[in-house]
Chain A
Amino acid sequence: MSDLQSQDYVRRSASTLTPPSVRSHEDEVAKLIDVSRCIGCKACQSACMEWNDLRPEVGHFEGSYENPADLGPSVWTLMKFAEHENEQGNLEWLIRKDGCMHCEDPGCLKACPAPGAIVQYANGIVDFISDKCIGCGYCVKGCPFNIPRISKQDHKSYKCTLCSDRVSVGLEPACVKACPTGAIMFGSKTDMKHQAAERIEDLKSRGFDQAGLYDPPEVGGTHVMYVLHHADKPSLYSGLPDKPRISPVVGAWKGFIKPLAVAGIALAAVGAFFHWITAGPNEVTEEDEAEGERVLREADAHEPEKSP
């Protein structure tokens, strides 16, 4: 969606050049979602739609409080509800705000064949740059959390930007500001981890022995983290991956495309010191396109997973 100055990038899809000036003074950001104080009110969803001018269609009731039924090109965050009966036979209603995790090692970015369509800023935000997106859908496949969605209108991929427009003027993301109970916090990743530790201690004192932080090392940690009462079983929370991992397919096709991308960029790099160029769809192989179309079809036909 957005394109900050290139010097703020630390990673960029389908590019081999090292970004010229990684801003070293930037602290890494993180959003901390404390599931134990979330009341599932959807203020975050509402704020996200309002701030980002997103209005998906009015859907139907489908047997859950989850509405819309799935993330979408206009649904960048979604409350997920799981009714869980614990070992004592007591009910726990595990409610989790789903959305982009802003991985430190982003599978979407790795998978993306379109140069510069997915970038990671020095502060950790992973952003989609729409005008460079070719709508291939690799990011959907590459994402271990099943987050990006392709628009049927413009065939581009969309997801949470972590409100890069707000963050760039020193404001917290819209969902963070709205959250009535302070279940969503925003700050430096160090501070958020510190804060999480305090919350975990409180939860343990209330009998949640397995309380912990979700910051999965499999993707290098994330810039959206959860405090979970049951950190030993993340999948209880509407299928949060116990061990998220980037599909091996991503590695395979990246291996194939890499030489082409390097060739393309090497030519262009002569006259472009730190202006990267858009390689464009013509540098995507047919295999890539076929794979992309398949993913796109899957995305279109994607049936939302429902919690009971």
Chain B
Amino acid sequence: MTNTWQDIKNANLVIVMGGNAAEAHPCGFKWVIEAKIENGAKLVVVDPRFTRTASVADYYAPIRPGTDIAFLSGVIRYLLEQDAIQHQYVRAYTNASLVVKEGFAFENGLFSGYNEETHSYDRSSWDYELDEQGFAKSDDSWQHPRCVINLLRQHVSRYTPETVSRICGTPQDKFLHICGLIAATAAPDKAMTSLFALGWTQHSVGSQNIRTMAMIQLLLGNIGVAGGGMNALRGHSNIQGLTDVGLLSNLMPGYLNLPLDKETSLDEYMKTKQYKPLRPGQTSYWQNYRKFVVSLQKAIYGDAATQDNNWAYDWLPKLDVPMYDIIRAFEMMNNGQLTGYICQGFNPLQAFPDRGKIRRGLSKLKFLVTMDPLDTETSRFWQDFGPQNPARSAEIQTEVFQLPTTCFAEENGSLVNSARWLQWHWKAAEAPGEAMSDIWIMSGIFHRLRELYRKEGGAFPDPILNLTWKYTDPVEPDPEELAREMNGRALADLTDPATGAVLTKAGTLLDGFAQLRDDGTTASGCWIFSGSFTEKGNQMARRDATDPREQGIAPNWAWAWPANRRILYNRASADQDGKAWNPAKPIIEWNGSRWEGIDVPDYGPTVKPSDGVGPFIMNAEGMGRLFARDLMADGPFPEHYEPLESPVENVLHPKVRSNPVARVFASDRAAFGTPQHYPYVATTYRLTEHFHFWTKHALINAILQPEEFVEIGEVLAKEKGIEQGGWVKVSSKRGEVVCKAYVTKRIKPLLVDGKPTHVIGVPLHWGFTGQARKGYGANTLTPSVGDANTQTPEFKAFLVNVEKTGAPAA
């Protein structure tokens, strides 16, 4: 989220598309209700199903799964045609005026630079035209045919209301009504907030779904302002934190990239991370990258990371592929390339696409370790549970370890929420039986390995032997000590380069990342968390809910990264002179000598408005990007591509039907179904009564939603003779699920390219352990396809067939 949960109440328009906030985040959704009641806001829901969010919406429109880019590109076209954009904001704060270099093109569904063999783009033409000093050229008159705004206008010109309706199945009048509501928030003092979640990410075009809305928000001047922003409602309680701390295959803590093979030295690695400003005088904050990397290495390897060994750069593993994500991991498993796998609090047998493939993969491992408070399906993949998990135990040679862990109530620590708040929590009771904390278990495995390497030697033991482990209790380090290590401290007296005066004494906990250095005198395990645990104490444990002007900031409650900033890009909440666009809800304003307000400025606190520094300080041009340069794998502008499994052709460019650079392995491509055999569009989702595969272990939640079902519209049900609550078989090319049917008015056939298209809703919470009734799980049906940028699986749009069937034998 760029903004806070409570800030939603400042919106004039709330659009929930690509998510189902009322069901997935009920307590956050209260702020939508607040916006409606206290701010007179309207709520718009665009979703294939009439959800519980739609039940309280002012306006609802249906959409075919996987066509959001067409819808949103149509909105951009409408805004540009109607000139309903926040002109001053767009001109000053976005790259609309910058000129794109010659050679960039988009034709027949492909951007310039496509390589058919590798299914990837050479993105070198996706950039600005630079002047002699290396700055991007700009045309403030917007006359240049290759300036971004004109290229965008041209790109979206194809998305007329007719075309949008033809692709999405959304009736034109509904589409246009929503366009009108959105356009009204172009007024400088009006804001729309976008609430989304997996409904946008879980597509082969997931990142571009979000980007399209981000572009709309930039055009409307809704980024950085109260009640605006792009608000990704993250899923699990600490998935934001796990990502922040770099537990992704290509990341290090604080969104630093793990090095690639070709980056043979630290200097080589840093070459692609100079982030030289692309416009005069811009901040381009990533220029500090080296400080973050060196400080990380000092935290991880301590005294063993020195100037002489390039701060132990060689001890970092290097990547030969862009990432070893989960889809690749299971492909490798199926190919016999993985020996062991450790699942910590993760249940891939239910959570990842194509369950059959997951089960076959796990069966090929030599060993599997699960760490979990609950008895997960993954830990029992080898056991026969009937049709829901047909396994032949005797034939499966995998050694399985099921390790019991503590749960939230039994440990101290911090979690990061959607709004980037780090909140500390406290242990309430001991864990049951012999369950131990993940910290104890990971330490136990590590100590044993280190001991083995010390005694026996083995492959490259250096990083293992030199890993810092200076904890008071090395067997189970105290979370507070780990938090301090992430925050960072001075390793030597830090002096003012000009005067030589000592600014920070050696050993002192740092106040923030601005103090980090690249000469080995500071250590910080996660630079963006710097400031969370200072000499003043644990900032994450703060509990002062004071909220100036009741504007939804609560700046002293817990701590938010970066630098306790609650609203990202908040400099953009004020005009070029530093006055709030919306005088009723200012965030920061220029007072003549500095920026002040209710939030920490996302900007140099004393940088004058007249200096012309752009508000998007992390970007090299200082501007919000309507044209993404080379940062997206599938194009600098979003384009509508059909899901990998789709009932129709791509009406825009039949030859390029789906995302040409989506992540698909050859074996997975063979498991795609066709509309002839699988004529219906399926989409998976969560029910408000359950959380993933966890709450089926909780009796109350099992009572509230006891059993697997699918949702089918009345028209299709009638056609197929399916009765309310009757049994159906839902099948895809990859597997079948036998469950109950919920025949509903809430899903209606959509008219797509002239043909009625039926959507089937597949809730995903079921499995074969826990208190709820035994079920298969939606991932039995879903295809193993990844988004081109994030490898997020396409859970939201695929093809199935559905048939009436009898009750299974009990």
Interface centre among B33, B54, B773, by most chain A C-beta atoms within 10 angstroms, is B33
Nearest-Cβ distance from residue A241 to partner chain B, whole angstroms: 23
Name A's interface SS.
Answer: loop
Nearest B residue to A205, CB-CB:
B40
Interface centre among A41, A43, A45, A56, by most chain B C-beta atoms within 10 angstroms, is A41
User: Of B436-444, B620-628, B698-706, which binds chain A?
Assistant: B698-706
0/1 interface trace, chain A 25-67, chain B, CB 8 Å (1 if under): 0000000000011111111011001100001111111111101
Asked if B688 lies at the interface with its beta carbon under 8 angstroms from chain A, I say yes
Q: For B708, give its contact among A61, A183, A199 (CB under 8 Å).
A: A61
Asked if A95 lies at the interface with its beta carbon under 8 angstroms from chain B, I say yes
For A116, what are the chain B residues with a Cβ–Cβ distance below 8 Å?
none
A92 to B56 alpha-carbon distance, docked (Å): 9
0/1 interface trace, chain A 199-235, chain B, CB 8 Å (1 if under): 1001000100000000000000000000000000000
For A36, what are the chain B residues with a Cβ–Cβ distance below 8 Å?
56
State whether B745 touches A58 (Cβ < 8 A).
Answer: no
For A183, what are the chain B residues with a Cβ–Cβ distance below 8 Å?
33
Asked if A106 lies at the interface with its beta carbon under 8 angstroms from chain B, I say no
Asked if A270 lies at the interface with its beta carbon under 8 angstroms from chain B, I say no
For B742, what are the chain A residues with a Cβ–Cβ distance below 8 Å?
61, 63-65
For A45, what are the chain B residues with a Cβ–Cβ distance below 8 Å?
704
State whether B29 touches A180 (Cβ < 8 A).
Answer: yes
For A46, what are the chain B residues with a Cβ–Cβ distance below 8 Å?
689, 700-701, 704
Asked if B58 lies at the interface with its beta carbon under 8 angstroms from chain A, I say yes
A93 with B746: in contact, given A39-B55, A58-B771, A58-B772 (CB under 8 Å)?
Answer: yes
Asked if A87 lies at the interface with its beta carbon under 8 angstroms from chain B, I say no
Nearest-Cβ distance from residue B123 to partner chain A, whole angstroms: 43
Nearest B residue to A62, CB-CB:
B725
State which residues 69-105 of A face B: CB under 8 Å: 83, 85, 90-93, 95
Nearest-Cβ distance from residue A167 to partner chain B, whole angstroms: 22
A41 to B630 alpha-carbon distance, docked (Å): 43
Q: For B688, give its contact among A41, A83, A91, A182 (CB under 8 Å).
A: A41
For B30, what are the chain A residues with a Cβ–Cβ distance below 8 Å?
180-182
State whether B724 touches A63 (Cβ < 8 A).
Answer: yes
Nearest-Cβ distance from residue B505 to partner chain A, whole angstroms: 47
For B60, what are the chain A residues with a Cβ–Cβ distance below 8 Å?
90-91
A63 to B744 alpha-carbon distance, docked (Å): 9
For A43, what are the chain B residues with a Cβ–Cβ distance below 8 Å?
26
Asked if A68 lies at the interface with its beta carbon under 8 angstroms from chain B, I say yes
A46 to B689 alpha-carbon distance, docked (Å): 9
State whether B745 touches A308 (Cβ < 8 A).
Answer: yes
Interface centre among B33, B704, B745, by most chain A C-beta atoms within 10 angstroms, is B704
State whether A93 touches B52 (Cβ < 8 A).
Answer: yes
For B744, what are the chain A residues with a Cβ–Cβ distance below 8 Å?
83, 308
Q: How many contacts between A and B, using CB within 8 angstroms?
A: 120
State whether A181 touches B26 (Cβ < 8 A).
Answer: yes
State whether B33 touches A49 (Cβ < 8 A).
Answer: no
Nearest-Cβ distance from residue B631 to partner chain A, whole angstroms: 37
For A61, what are the chain B residues with a Cβ–Cβ distance below 8 Å?
705-709, 725, 739-740, 742
A257 to B440 alpha-carbon distance, docked (Å): 70
Asked if B27 lies at the interface with its beta carbon under 8 angstroms from chain A, I say yes
Q: For A37, give its contact among B23, B56, B741 (CB under 8 Å).
A: B56
A206 to B59 alpha-carbon distance, docked (Å): 11
State which residues 668-721 of B face A: CB under 8 Å: 687-689, 699-709
State whether B699 touches A42 (Cβ < 8 A).
Answer: no
For A39, what are the chain B residues with a Cβ–Cβ distance below 8 Å?
22-23, 26, 29, 52-53, 55-56, 688
Asked if B743 lies at the interface with its beta carbon under 8 angstroms from chain A, I say yes
Nearest-Cβ distance from residue A14 to partner chain B, whole angstroms: 35
A308 to B723 alpha-carbon distance, docked (Å): 11
A59 to B701 alpha-carbon distance, docked (Å): 11
A105 to B699 alpha-carbon distance, docked (Å): 36
State whether B26 touches A180 (Cβ < 8 A).
Answer: yes
A264 to B132 alpha-carbon distance, docked (Å): 107
Nearest-Cβ distance from residue B759 to partner chain A, whole angstroms: 15
A60 with B703: in contact, given A85-B745, A180-B29, A180-B30 (CB under 8 Å)?
Answer: no
A92 to B701 alpha-carbon distance, docked (Å): 26
A95 with B55: in contact, given A60-B706, A83-B744 (CB under 8 Å)?
Answer: yes
Nearest A residue to B772, CB-CB:
A58
For B93, what are the chain A residues with a Cβ–Cβ distance below 8 Å?
none
Asked if B50 lies at the interface with its beta carbon under 8 angstroms from chain A, I say yes
For B37, what are the chain A residues with a Cβ–Cβ distance below 8 Å?
37, 199, 202
Interface centre among B687, B688, B703, B745, by most chain A C-beta atoms within 10 angstroms, is B703
Q: For B745, give its contact among A57, A65, A91 (CB under 8 Å).
A: A91
State whether B740 touches A181 (Cβ < 8 A).
Answer: no
Q: How many residues of B contact A (CB 8 A)?
A: 44
A67 with B704: in contact, given A39-B23, A42-B689, A93-B54 (CB under 8 Å)?
Answer: yes
Nearest A residue to B698, CB-CB:
A46
Nearest-Cβ distance from residue A66 to partner chain B, whole angstroms: 10
Q: For A181, give its contact among B33, B703, B707, B724 (CB under 8 Å).
A: B33
For B56, what are the chain A residues with a Cβ–Cβ distance below 8 Å?
36-39, 181
A42 with B704: in contact, given A61-B709, A61-B742, A83-B746 (CB under 8 Å)?
Answer: yes
State whether A58 touches B54 (Cβ < 8 A).
Answer: no
0/1 interface trace, chain A 162-188, chain B, CB 8 Å (1 if under): 000000000000000000111100000
A56 to B30 alpha-carbon distance, docked (Å): 29
A58 with B773: in contact, given A40-B55, A63-B742, A180-B30 (CB under 8 Å)?
Answer: yes
Nearest-Cβ distance from residue B573 to partner chain A, whole angstroms: 27
A58 with B706: in contact, given A180-B29, A180-B30, A182-B33 (CB under 8 Å)?
Answer: yes
Nearest B residue to A63, CB-CB:
B725
Nearest-Cβ distance from residue A262 to partner chain B, whole angstroms: 45
A41 to B704 alpha-carbon distance, docked (Å): 10
A63 with B743: in contact, given A55-B703, A180-B29 (CB under 8 Å)?
Answer: yes
For A202, what are the chain B residues with a Cβ–Cβ distance below 8 Å?
36-37
For A64, what are the chain B residues with a Cβ–Cβ distance below 8 Å?
725, 742
A292 to B260 alpha-carbon distance, docked (Å): 79
Nearest A residue to B725, CB-CB:
A63
Nearest B residue to A183, CB-CB:
B33
Nearest-Cβ distance from residue A180 to partner chain B, whole angstroms: 4
A91 to B30 alpha-carbon distance, docked (Å): 23
For A57, what are the chain B residues with a Cβ–Cβ distance below 8 Å?
703
State which residues 746-799 of B face A: CB under 8 Å: 746, 771-773
For A37, what are the chain B residues with a Cβ–Cβ distance below 8 Å?
33, 36-37, 56
For B58, what are the chain A residues with a Cβ–Cβ distance below 8 Å?
206
Nearest-Cβ distance from residue A12 to partner chain B, whole angstroms: 34
For B55, what are the chain A residues with a Cβ–Cβ distance below 8 Å?
39-40, 92-93, 95
Nearest B residue to A83, CB-CB:
B745
Q: For A67, give its contact among B23, B703, B743, B771 (CB under 8 Å).
A: B703
A206 to B743 alpha-carbon distance, docked (Å): 30
Interface centre among B50, B56, B742, B743, by most chain A C-beta atoms within 10 angstroms, is B56
Nearest A residue to B775, CB-CB:
A61
Nearest A residue to B28, CB-CB:
A180
A63 to B55 alpha-carbon distance, docked (Å): 19
0/1 interface trace, chain B 9-28, chain A, CB 8 Å (1 if under): 00000000000001100110
Q: Which residues of B are interface residues toward A (Cβ below 8 A)?
A: 22-23, 26-27, 29-30, 33, 36-37, 50, 52-56, 58, 60, 687-689, 699-709, 724-725, 739-746, 771-773
Closest 3 CB pairs of A and B: A63-B725, A180-B26, A61-B707
Given A58-B699, A182-B30, 9 more pairs with CB closer than 8 A: A40-B52, A41-B689, A42-B704, A49-B700, A59-B703, A60-B706, A60-B773, A65-B742, A181-B22
27 A-B pairs whose Cβ atoms sit less than 8 Å apart in the complex: A36-B56, A37-B36, A39-B23, A39-B55, A41-B23, A41-B689, A45-B704, A55-B699, A58-B699, A60-B706, A62-B740, A63-B724, A63-B725, A63-B742, A67-B704, A83-B746, A85-B745, A91-B50, A91-B746, A95-B52, A180-B26, A180-B30, A181-B22, A182-B30, A182-B33, A183-B33, A202-B36
